[in-house]
């Protein structure tokens, strides 16, 4: 059997993975708070732990892994949307409207993550459906002297758990100094955290021994993992940013409620994501969602490939260059494996590299070697193991039937360009230069001759979004729809089409039909002018 090694945050070392029960390997990953679209950084743990569960299933058997990822649907931002809908006259109780809003965002999430090739976990518990187990866990913690009630709140007494801070390796004093601890008069110790809090009439709430209220965030994962995986399970995963306080608090709650159990035996944390070397943030204007990228025409498979190119414990930098390289590689690999039946097993080298603390970057390097050696059937089986080159992910490649005719047109036009330059026919050379640009085709001269690519920033997009904003300002809806469609075909997208005067516009790849049409126009123009 393949030996899997995992860097265990708890031990601060790489350890050989030994499951409690090889017949049922159990994995819990902290899921999203479902108040809006997932941004690109949210997708990183999803892809990382998707590869992990695929590896575990490869080693222990597809039916011998239980993978749980929760949805946090108790949150102030979800409440705010539900409340504003209620005030606008929507029918149903506040709890029902909260549920409805969560349903919307959960559907978005699953669709977007599915586009990245992430398989759905075996269980996707929602916090609002596990209120009863949370209440009984809180009651148990009070009975055991680890929690106390104060002014309608229930708080966990951090001092009652001596190993608090062991996961992240901090002392309680350091944590108080470093963290933004909420000081409240009802807390015995500023580090004590909320297990239960009261709800006003404007907030969703559930009846409890401490009055109508709602759970704190941390207790969700402790109660849900216990319910679905038991008091001891194998791996707990999540982003680095969750180590403290979320995971420390989960450990404190679970270990105090079930002192004889292990809770999670291996803790895995992925590093964060950056964009072009900078932290993703709304104020830097580099904040985008997975849906934004997909809508710009970046295939989910390309996003996944870029993610896998960086080891999960290193910061991952999303760059335009990586996007383009990933697309070129996938195009090559898909061409090489088209019509090929995959080998029954992936390459043992790829599996061994991947099993060494989920070295996805190393696995891709091995796959490059397979592609170079022309071992298409083994490449296909190996790539599918990490969720690449599947039929379900290949729609972008098949849909791009335009690609061949675009290539043919460009090559023909490049010959005309060389001839025009040789003949010093500058008006004709200029016509070609402008024509390529308006089709989104970037031509670069190299010592080996011109190379070309379809680029997102080649087309002059300013006139396009000015036309959209003008039509919007004039209130001319028919014209607006026409301009929006035109802009979208050329790769100009707006964040919110109900707020075109303020919402940001960004550039994506032009539609391949659009590129083909523009190149055909250029070809016809050349014929007319010859
Ligand atoms: Zn959690």
Query: What separation in Å is there between the alpha carbon of 386 and the centre of ligand 1?
Result: 25
Nearest of 55, 67, 72 to residue 123 by alpha carbon: 67
Does 281 or 372 have the greater pLDDT score? 372
Query: What separation in Å is there between the alpha carbon of 146 and the centre of ligand 1?
Result: 20
The model's pTM is: 0.80
Query: What separation in Å is there between the alpha carbon of 375 and the centre of ligand 1?
Result: 42
Query: What separation in Å is there between the alpha carbon of 355 and the centre of ligand 1?
Result: 25
Q: What is the pLDDT of residues 92-108, one digit of tens each?
A: 988 888 888 999 999 99
CA dist., res. 525 & res. 523, Å (int) = 5
Contact by Cβ (8 Å): 222, 177: no
Query: What separation in Å is there between the alpha carbon of 243 and the centre of ligand 1?
Result: 10
Query: What separation in Å is there between the alpha carbon of 247 and the centre of ligand 1?
Result: 7
Q: What is the pLDDT of residues 446-501, one digit of tens each?
A: 888 888 888 877 898 888 888 999 999 999 999 999 998 889 889 887 767 777 77
Query: What separation in Å is there between the alpha carbon of 218 and the centre of ligand 1?
Result: 6
Query: What separation in Å is there between the alpha carbon of 15 and the centre of ligand 1?
Result: 23
CA dist., res. 34 & res. 2, Å (int) = 37
Interacting residues of 526 by C-beta distance below 8 A, sequence separation 6+: 413, 416, 428, 431, 432
Q: What is the pLDDT of residues 182-221, one digit of tens each?
A: 778 889 998 999 999 999 988 889 999 999 999 999 999 9
Q: What is the pLDDT of residues 54-83, one digit of tens each?
A: 999 999 999 999 999 999 998 888 888 888
pLDDT band for position 505 (cuts 50, 70, 90) = confident
Segment 151-170 mean pLDDT: 92
39-48, 221-230, 481-490: lowest mean pLDDT where? 481-490
Query: What separation in Å is there between the alpha carbon of 136 and the centre of ligand 1?
Result: 18
73-77, 145-149, 155-159, 162-166: lowest mean pLDDT where? 73-77
SS (H, E, C) 64-90: CEEEEECEECCCHHHHHHHHHHHHCCC
Query: What separation in Å is there between the alpha carbon of 361 and the centre of ligand 1?
Result: 27
Segment 32-39 mean pLDDT: 89
Segment 280-288 mean pLDDT: 78
Query: What separation in Å is there between the alpha carbon of 304 and the centre of ligand 1?
Result: 24
Enumerate domains of the chain plus CATH numbers: 5-270 (3.40.50.620), 274-393 (no CATH)
Residue 401 has pLDDT above 80, yes or no: no
Pairing between strand 316-318 and 273-275?
A: parallel
How far from 482 is each of 476, 478, 486, CA to CA, in Å? 10, 6, 6
Query: What separation in Å is there between the alpha carbon of 195 and the centre of ligand 1?
Result: 14
pLDDT > 70 fraction of the chain, expressed in percent and rounded: 97
Segment 19-36 mean pLDDT: 95
pLDDT for residue 419: 94
CA dist., res. 118 & res. 116, Å (int) = 6
Q: How high is the mean pLDDT of the chain?
A: 92
pLDDT band for position 309 (cuts 50, 70, 90) = very high
279-283, 443-447, 465-469: lowest mean pLDDT where? 279-283
The residue behind tokens 């899997």 is 4
SS3 39: strand
SS (H, E, C) 313-363: CCCEEECHHHHHHHHHHHHHHHHHHCCCCCCCCCCHHHHHHHHECCCHHHH
Query: What separation in Å is there between the alpha carbon of 193 and the centre of ligand 1?
Result: 15
Query: What separation in Å is there between the alpha carbon of 316 and the centre of ligand 1?
Result: 22
Phi-psi region of 127 (alpha: psi -120 to 50; beta: other; left: phi over 0): alpha
pLDDT > 90 fraction of the chain, expressed in percent and rounded: 68
SS (H, E, C) 414-448: HHHHHHHHHCCCHHHHHHHHHHHHHCCEEEEEECC
Residue 256 has pLDDT above 80, yes or no: yes
Does 18 or 175 have the greater pLDDT score? 18
Tokens of 95: 């709890």
Query: What separation in Å is there between the alpha carbon of 30 and the centre of ligand 1?
Result: 4
pLDDT for residue 180: 61
Query: What separation in Å is there between the alpha carbon of 210 and the centre of ligand 1?
Result: 24
CA dist., res. 213 & res. 152, Å (int) = 8
Query: What separation in Å is there between the alpha carbon of 509 and the centre of ligand 1?
Result: 37
pLDDT for residue 75: 86
Residue 517 has pLDDT above 70, yes or no: yes
Beta strands in 256-318 (DSSP E): 263-270, 273-275, 278-279, 316-318
> Quick count: other Cβ atoms within 10 Å of Cβ 240?
16
Query: What separation in Å is there between the alpha carbon of 27 and the centre of ligand 1?
Result: 12
Q: What is the pLDDT of residues 402-429, one digit of tens each?
A: 777 898 999 999 999 999 999 999 999 9
């Amino acid at each position: 059997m393949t030996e899997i090694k995992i860097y265990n945050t708890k031990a601060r070392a790489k350890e050989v993975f030994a499951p409690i029960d090889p017949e049922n390997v159990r994995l819990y990953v902290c899921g999203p708070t479902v108040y809006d679209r997932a941004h690109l950084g949210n997708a990183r743990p999803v892809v990382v732990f998707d590869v992990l569960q695929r590896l575990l299933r490869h080693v222990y058997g597809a039916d011998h892994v239980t993978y749980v990822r929760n949805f946090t649907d108790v949150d102030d931002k979800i409440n705010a949307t539900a409340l504003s809908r209620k005030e606008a006259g929507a029918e149903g109780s506040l709890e029902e409207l909260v549920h409805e809003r969560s349903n919307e965002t959960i559907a978005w999430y699953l669709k977007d993550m599915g586009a990245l090739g992430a398989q759905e976990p075996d269980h996707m518990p929602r916090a609002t459906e596990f209120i009863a187990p949370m209440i009984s866990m809180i009651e148990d913690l009070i009975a055991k002297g680890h929690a106390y009630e104060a002014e309608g709140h229930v708080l966990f007494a951090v001092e009652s758990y001596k190993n608090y801070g062991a996961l992240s390796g901090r002392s309680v004093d350091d944590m108080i100094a470093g963290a933004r601890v909420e000081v409240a008069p009802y807390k015995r110790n500023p580090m004590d955290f909320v297990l239960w809090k009261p709800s006003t009439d404007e907030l969703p709430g559930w009846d409890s021994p401490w009055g109508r209220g709602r759970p704190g965030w941390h207790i969700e994962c402790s109660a849900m993992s216990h319910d679905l995986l038991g008091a001891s399970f194998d791996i707990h995963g999540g982003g680095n940013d969750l180590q403290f306080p979320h995971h420390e608090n989960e450990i404190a709650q679970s270990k105090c409620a079930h002192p004889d159990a292990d809770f999670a035996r291996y803790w895995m944390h992925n590093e964060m994501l950056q964009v072009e070397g900078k932290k993703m943030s709304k104020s830097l204007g580099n904040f985008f969602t997975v849906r934004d990228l997909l809508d710009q025409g970046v295939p989910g498979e390309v996003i996944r490939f870029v993610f896998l190119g960086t080891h999960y414990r290193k910061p991952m930098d999303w760059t335009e260059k990586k996007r383009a390289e990933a697309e070129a590689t996938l195009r090559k690999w898909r061409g090489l494996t088209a019509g090929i039946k995959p080998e029954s097993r992936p390459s043992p080298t790829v599996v061994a590299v991947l099993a060494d603390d989920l070295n996805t970057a190393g696995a891709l390097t091995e796959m490059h070697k397979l592609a170079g050696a022309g071992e298409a059937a083994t490449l296909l089986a190996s790539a599918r193991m990490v969720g690449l080159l599947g039929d379900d992910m290949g729609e972008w490649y098949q849909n791009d039937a335009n690609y061949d005719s675009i290539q043919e047109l460009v090559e023909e036009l490049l010959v005309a360009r060389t001839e025009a330059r040789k003949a010093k026919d500058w008006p004709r050379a200029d016509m070609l230069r402008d024509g390529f640009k308006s089709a989104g085709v970037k031509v670069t001269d190299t010592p080996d001759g011109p190379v070309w690519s379809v680029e997102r920033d080649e087309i002059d997009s300013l006139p396009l979004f000015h036309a959209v904003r003008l039509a919007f300002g004039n209130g001319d809806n028919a014209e607006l729809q026409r301009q929006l469609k035109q802009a979208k075909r050329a790769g100009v997208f707006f964040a919110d089409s109900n707020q075109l005067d303020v919402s940001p516009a960004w550039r994506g790849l032009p539609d391949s039909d659009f590129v083909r049409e523009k190149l055909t126009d250029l070809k016809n123009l050349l014929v007319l002018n010859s």
